[in-house]
């Protein structure tokens, strides 16, 4: 070890520098006269600030600016406000004018209500954080606007967002009531009433008026306008944006949605609820009493590129008319701010869970009836969500193993018949139609058909697609880790790249690589055998060549496309293909005996074979085609 020594030159240098600093400070110290002048200047500055503060306290902004402190107005100013906004001038004389906030907390929320406009200025979900460990906010930094446009009896058109509301917070049992009132007088007002319940993401929200029947112009439409920009919460903004979508229920239970990939707009009748879905979190407006008669909805895509650090994914807007009842407003609504979780949304019994994209038709039913309950059960009884995915994959593959058996049995039969089929094609090489007829006859007598292998494969498609929709929307997987993946609902990056690769991204995810390798070997084993047994049909594409391309194309597609997808989905495909390889080896080496299959084929050939309607129709068509061909050949000879 090197011996440490004091550097004498360095010590001398530090002493000199310190001495120079002391000299400069001594030379620059103020004289007594300068100190006295500085003291006088400071006193003058304090007096000036006091005078300015007094002026600010008595300052009244003109009637065109609603954000000033206007409780001390003279008669002239009151008249000016009356001329500007009519009866609602009273609201501008109250102490709540301007952006002031009322904060309320529950078990799940931290809410801020802005007195200006009376609506929520901030919604924080206390039980969740985003990918960067920042609390999840549904509303923040003016990303949301809630406004009612209405006409008055003195021919004015006003907006609630321009006026101050008087706040009050009370308790009703365990519930917290937040009342925001836009006052015309102490007894006449428009009220937003929010009722917050413990451990509940649904806020009972009502819009009511009292004593305004003579103030509202009921012949003019009154319109509610709700806008919101969805805040980014996930690592991959393009992946999150893929599942961010405006959805609505209308016409007594029908569900539809705006485009997820581009700007879109629609006008819809009888809307029961509107969901501003942001992948794993949703803002939902529910019409509790009666549906909104006509709603104009728009969705604007704000994500240009994965490389751009965008704060918002989509801008949603909705405009809907409110109905007067005896000249007053009385609309009972619900406001949901919370997780896009099937179990949570289903508890409200309003069909809100239909806003989750489980897949259309049979695919959605498979998820709702089978995979959601099964995964919920497994995740509750197993030590991790990753193991729950593996166990569910094993169960699915066991159920579908009979399908693989049918496929391999069909391939085995075609392999045994190949020499005989090749001989037929060679014998009738100049008569392709006759060769096709004889080929079909041999396959029919032997009970072997290429379709017998395809049909079981088609049966797997609904299951695969249902799972493809299930994993990206499973809220339970959010921020649940497994092995090297810290979040099964997002990609499992093992290497961050210093550059961005188009379509691939700026990271390397490991589960898609493993899944791609497993798919390659599985397709190599299965497709290779299919190519060996599949004859090239006249006038048909070269299936052997297409299958050869698919062996390489499918893994590459998995590698690229799934690099930004949920790692839980890639884990499923990896395990699924490993199990498929294992099942295939077991069936091929221990279950299917080619000698027994051959014996069964020989027995089947001796039995009379009854053709079904499809086979009869095909045979008739081929006979007609053969006769037509013979007639054409005779005509040419003449």
Res. 179: pLDDT tops 50 = yes
Query: Mean pLDDT over residues 31-55, rounded?
Result: 52
Res. 481: pLDDT tops 80 = yes
pLDDT tens digits for range 304-358: 776 666 789 999 999 999 988 888 999 999 999 999 999 999 999 999 999 998 8
Can you read off the two tokens belonging to residue 291?
Answer: 């549906």
pLDDT band, residue 597 (cuts 50/70/90): low
Q: Is the separation of the CB atoms in 317 and 298 below 8 Å?
A: yes
Q: Which of 141-145, 364-368, 624-628 has the lowest mean pLDDT?
A: 624-628
Res. 67: pLDDT tops 80 = no
pLDDT tens digits for range 555-572: 888 888 888 888 888 898
Q: Is the separation of the CB atoms in 614 and 431 below 8 Å?
A: no
Q: How confident is the model at residue 22, as a pLDDT? A: 47
Select the more confidently predicted residue: 248 or 429. Answer: 248
Spatial distance between the Cα atoms of 623 and 465, rounded to a whole number of angstroms: 40
Whole-structure pTM value: 0.73
Q: How confident is the model at residue 583, as a pLDDT? A: 78
**Range among 189-193, 468-472, 528-532 rated most confident:** 189-193
pLDDT band, residue 626 (cuts 50/70/90): low
Res. 88: pLDDT tops 80 = yes
Q: Apex CA 482: angle with CA 477 and CA 483, to 5°?
A: 160
Query: Mean pLDDT over residues 47-76, rounded?
Result: 44
Select the more confidently predicted residue: 87 or 63. Answer: 87
Residue 148 gets which letter from DSSP?
A: E
CB under 8 Å to 399, separation ≥6 — which residues? Answer: none
Nearest Cα to Cα of residue 285 among 358, 208, 207, 222: 207
Select the more confidently predicted residue: 231 or 553. Answer: 231
Res. 402: pLDDT tops 50 = yes
579: helix, strand or coil: helix
Distances (CA, A) of 596 to 309, 412, 422, 450, 587: 63, 11, 22, 20, 14
Q: Which of 49-58, 167-176, 273-282, 595-604 has the lowest mean pLDDT?
A: 49-58
Res. 361: pLDDT tops 70 = yes
Select the more confidently predicted residue: 374 or 615. Answer: 374
**Range among 60-69, 134-143, 502-511 rated most confident:** 134-143
CB under 8 Å to 329, separation ≥6 — which residues? Answer: 190, 207, 208, 209, 212, 216, 222, 322
Q: Is the separation of the CB atoms in 93 and 70 below 8 Å?
A: yes
CB under 8 Å to 197, separation ≥6 — which residues? Answer: 106, 174, 175, 204
Q: How confident is the model at residue 311, as a pLDDT? A: 87
Give the CA radius of gyration of the chain: 37
pLDDT tens digits for range 575-586: 988 888 887 787
Q: How confident is the model at residue 59, as a pLDDT? A: 30
Q: How confident is the model at residue 365, as a pLDDT? A: 87
pLDDT tens digits for range 264-291: 999 999 999 999 999 999 999 999 988 9
277: helix, strand or coil: strand
Query: What does the domain layout of the chain look like in residue ranges?
Result: 83-357, 366-619
pLDDT tens digits for range 442-456: 666 655 555 555 555
Q: Which residues pair with 495 in a beta bridge?
A: 508
Query: Mean pLDDT over residues 220-225, rounded?
Result: 92
pLDDT tens digits for range 375-396: 989 988 898 999 999 999 988 8
Q: How confident is the model at residue 601, as a pLDDT? A: 57
Spatial distance between the Cα atoms of 209 and 206, rounded to a whole number of angstroms: 10
Select the more confidently predicted residue: 196 or 621. Answer: 196
Q: How confident is the model at residue 190, as a pLDDT? A: 93
pLDDT band, residue 203 (cuts 50/70/90): very high
Helix, strand, coil percentages in the chain from 3-state DSSP, rounded to 5: 45, 25, 25
Class of the domain covering 83-357? mainly beta
Q: Which of 7-11, 217-221, 311-315, 403-407 has the lowest mean pLDDT?
A: 7-11
Spatial distance between the Cα atoms of 339 and 361, rounded to a whole number of angstroms: 24
Spatial distance between the Cα atoms of 119 and 112, rounded to a whole number of angstroms: 9
Query: Mean pLDDT over residues 464-489, rounded?
Result: 87
Work out the percent of the chain whose per-residue pLDDT is above 70.
66
Q: Is the separation of the CB atoms in 456 and 545 below 8 Å?
A: no
């Amino acid at each position: 070890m090197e011996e440490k020594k004091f550097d004498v030159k360095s010590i001398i240098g530090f002493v000199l520098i310190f001495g120079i600093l002391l000299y400069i400070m001594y030379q620059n110290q103020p004289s007594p006269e300068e100190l006295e002048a500085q003291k006088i200047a400071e006193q003058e500055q304090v007096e000036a600030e006091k005078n300015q503060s007094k002026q600010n306290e008595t300052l009244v902004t003109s009637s065109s600016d609603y954000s000033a402190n206007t409780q001390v107005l003279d008669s002239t100013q009151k008249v000016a406000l009356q001329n500007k906004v009519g009866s609602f001038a009273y609201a501008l004389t109250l102490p709540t004018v301007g952006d002031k906030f009322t904060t309320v907390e529950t078990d799940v929320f931290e809410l801020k209500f802005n007195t200006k406009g009376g609506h929520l200025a901030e919604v924080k979900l206390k039980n969740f954080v985003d990918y960067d460990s920042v609390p999840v906010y549904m509303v923040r930094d003016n990303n949301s606007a809630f406004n009612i446009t209405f006409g008055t009896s003195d021919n004015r058109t006003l907006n609630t967002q321009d006026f101050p509301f008087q706040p009050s917070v009370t308790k009703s049992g365990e519930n917290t009531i937040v009342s925001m009132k836009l006052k015309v007088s102490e007894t006449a007002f428009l009220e937003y009433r929010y009722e917050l319940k413990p451990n509940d993401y649904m806020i009972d929200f009502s819009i009511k008026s009292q004593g305004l029947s003579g103030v509202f112009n009921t012949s003019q439409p009154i319109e509610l306008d709700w806008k919101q920009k969805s805040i980014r919460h996930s690592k991959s903004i393009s992946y999150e944006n893929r599942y961010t979508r405006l959805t609505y229920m209308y016409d007594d239970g029908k569900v539809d949605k705006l485009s997820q990939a581009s700007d879109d707009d629609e006008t819809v009748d009888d809307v029961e609820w509107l969901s501003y879905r942001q992948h794993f979190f949703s803002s939902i407006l529910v019409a509790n009493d009666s549906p909104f008669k006509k709603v104009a909805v728009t969705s604007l895509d704000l994500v240009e590129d994965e490389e751009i650090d965008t704060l918002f994914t989509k801008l949603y807007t909705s405009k809907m008319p409110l109905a007067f009842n005896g000249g007053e407003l009385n609309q009972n609504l619900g406001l949901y701010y919370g997780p896009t979780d099937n179990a949570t949304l289903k508890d409200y019994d309003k069909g809100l869970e239909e806003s989750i994209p489980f897949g259309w038709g049979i695919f959605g039913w498979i998820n709702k009836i089978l995979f959601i309950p099964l995964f919920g059960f497994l995740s509750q009884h197993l030590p991790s969500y990753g193991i729950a995915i593996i166990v569910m994959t094993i169960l699915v593959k066991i159920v579908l193993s009979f399908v693989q058996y049918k496929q391999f049995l069909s391939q085995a039969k075609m392999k045994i018949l190949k020499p005989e089929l090749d001989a037929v094609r060679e014998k009738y090489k100049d008569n392709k139609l006759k060769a096709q007829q004889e080929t079909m006859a041999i396959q029919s007598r032997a009970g072997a058909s290429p379709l017998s292998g395809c049909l079981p494969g088609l049966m797997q498609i609904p299951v695969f697609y249902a799972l493809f929709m299930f994993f990206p929307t499973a809220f339970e997987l959010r921020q649940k880790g497994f092995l090297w993946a810290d979040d099964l609902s997002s990609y499992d990056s093992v290497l961050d790249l210093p550059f961005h690769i188009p379509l691939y991204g700026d990271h390397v995810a490991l589960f898609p690589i493993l899944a791609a390798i497993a798919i390659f070997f599985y397709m190599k084993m299965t497709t290779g055998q299919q190519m060996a047994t599949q004859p090239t049909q006249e006038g048909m594409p070269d299936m052997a060549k297409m299958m050869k391309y698919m062996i390489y194309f499918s893994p590459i597609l998995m590698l690229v496309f799934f690099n930004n997808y949920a790692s839980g989905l890639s884990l499923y495909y990896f395990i699924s293909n490993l199990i498929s390889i294992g099942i295939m080896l077991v069936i091929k080496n221990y279950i299917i005996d080619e000698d027994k299959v051959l014996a069964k084929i020989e027995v089947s050939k001796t039995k009379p074979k009854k053709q079904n309607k499809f086979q009869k129709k095909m045979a008739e068509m081929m006979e007609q085609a053969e006769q037509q061909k013979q007639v054409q050949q005779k005509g040419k000879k003449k």
